[in-house]
A = this chain, B = another copy of it.
Amino acid sequence: MSRTWNQYVVKQENKTLVLTTVMNHTPISRANVAKITGLNKGTVSSLVSELIDEKLVEESGPGKSSGGRRPVMLLFNGNAGYSISIELGVGYILGVITDLNGQIIEQDTIQLQTTHFNTIFPIMINLIKGLMEQVPKSRYGVIGIGVGVPAVVSRDGEILLAPNLNWKNVELKTKLENIFNLPVYIENEANAGAYGEMRYGSSQNSHHTIFASIGIGIGVGMILDGKLYHGLNGFAGELGHMTIEKDGKTCRCGNRGCWELYASEQAVIDMAIKRGLIAADQGEPFEQLIQLANEENQAVIELFEEIATYIAIGLTNCINIFNPEHVIIGNRLMRAKEWIYPTIESYILEHAIGFHQNKLKIDSAKLGVYSTISGMAAFTIEGFLLDQKRNHA
List residues of chain A with CB under 8 Å of any chain B CB.
Answer: 1-7, 9-10, 13-14, 17, 20-21, 36-39, 152, 160-161, 207-208, 220, 224-225, 227, 229-239, 241-248, 253-255, 262, 310, 313, 316-317, 320-325, 350-351, 353-354, 357-360
Q: Which residues of B contact A229 (CB under 8 A)?
A: 224-225, 322
Contact of A236 among B235, B323, B350 (CB under 8 A): B323
Are B321 and A254 within 8 A (Cβ)? no
Are A235 and B354 within 8 A (Cβ)? yes
Q: Which residues of B contact A237 (CB under 8 A)?
A: 321, 323
Q: Which residues of B contact A357 (CB under 8 A)?
A: 160, 233, 235
Q: Which residues of B contact A244 (CB under 8 A)?
A: 243-246
Are B316 and A255 within 8 A (Cβ)? yes
State whether A351 and B254 are in contact (beta carbons under 8 Å apart), knowing that A231-B324, A236-B323 are contacts in the complex.
Answer: yes
A177 smallest CB distance to B (angstroms): 23
A245 smallest CB distance to B (angstroms): 5
Contact of A233 among B37, B236, B253, B323 (CB under 8 A): B323
What's the Cα separation between A206 and B21 when bound, in Å? 35
Question: Which residue on B lies nearest to A160, using beta carbons?
Answer: B357
Question: Which residue on B lies nearest to A254, using beta carbons?
Answer: B351
State whether A14 and B10 are in contact (beta carbons under 8 Å apart), knowing that A255-B351, A357-B233 are contacts in the complex.
Answer: no
Question: Which residue on B lies nearest to A310, using beta carbons?
Answer: B246
Are B322 and A236 within 8 A (Cβ)? yes
State whether A236 and B321 are in contact (beta carbons under 8 Å apart), knowing that A21-B2, A160-B354 are contacts in the complex.
Answer: yes
Instruction: Please list the 8 inter-chain residue pairs (A to B) with the smallest Cβ-Cβ separation, ordered nearest first.
Output: A231-B323, A235-B323, A236-B323, A5-B10, A238-B320, A5-B13, A4-B38, A232-B325
Q: Which residues of B contact A253 (CB under 8 A)?
A: 353
Q: Which residues of B contact A13 (CB under 8 A)?
A: 5
Besides the known contacts A224-B225, A232-B323, A242-B321, 7 further A-B residue pairs in the complex with CB atoms under 8 A apart: A220-B321, A231-B324, A233-B357, A235-B358, A254-B351, A255-B316, A255-B351
Contact of A208 among B231, B239, B247 (CB under 8 A): B231
What's the Cα separation between A216 and B160 when bound, in Å? 39
A261 smallest CB distance to B (angstroms): 11
A384 smallest CB distance to B (angstroms): 21
A4 smallest CB distance to B (angstroms): 5
A204 smallest CB distance to B (angstroms): 15
State whether A243 and B317 are in contact (beta carbons under 8 Å apart), knowing that A13-B5, A238-B323 are contacts in the complex.
Answer: yes
Contact of A9 among B3, B4, B10, B232 (CB under 8 A): B10
What's the Cα separation between A357 and B7 when bound, in Å? 42
Q: Which residues of B contact A242 (CB under 8 A)?
A: 317, 320-321
What's the Cα separation between A9 and B4 when bound, in Å? 12
What's the Cα separation between A353 and B151 when bound, in Å? 13
State whether A231 and B322 are in contact (beta carbons under 8 Å apart), knowing that A37-B2, A317-B242 are contacts in the complex.
Answer: yes
What's the Cα separation between A255 and B316 when bound, in Å? 10
Are A246 and B313 within 8 A (Cβ)? yes
Are A238 and B1 within 8 A (Cβ)? no
Question: Which residue on B lies nearest to A325, using beta carbons?
Answer: B232
Contact of A14 among B5, B20, B231, B235 (CB under 8 A): B5
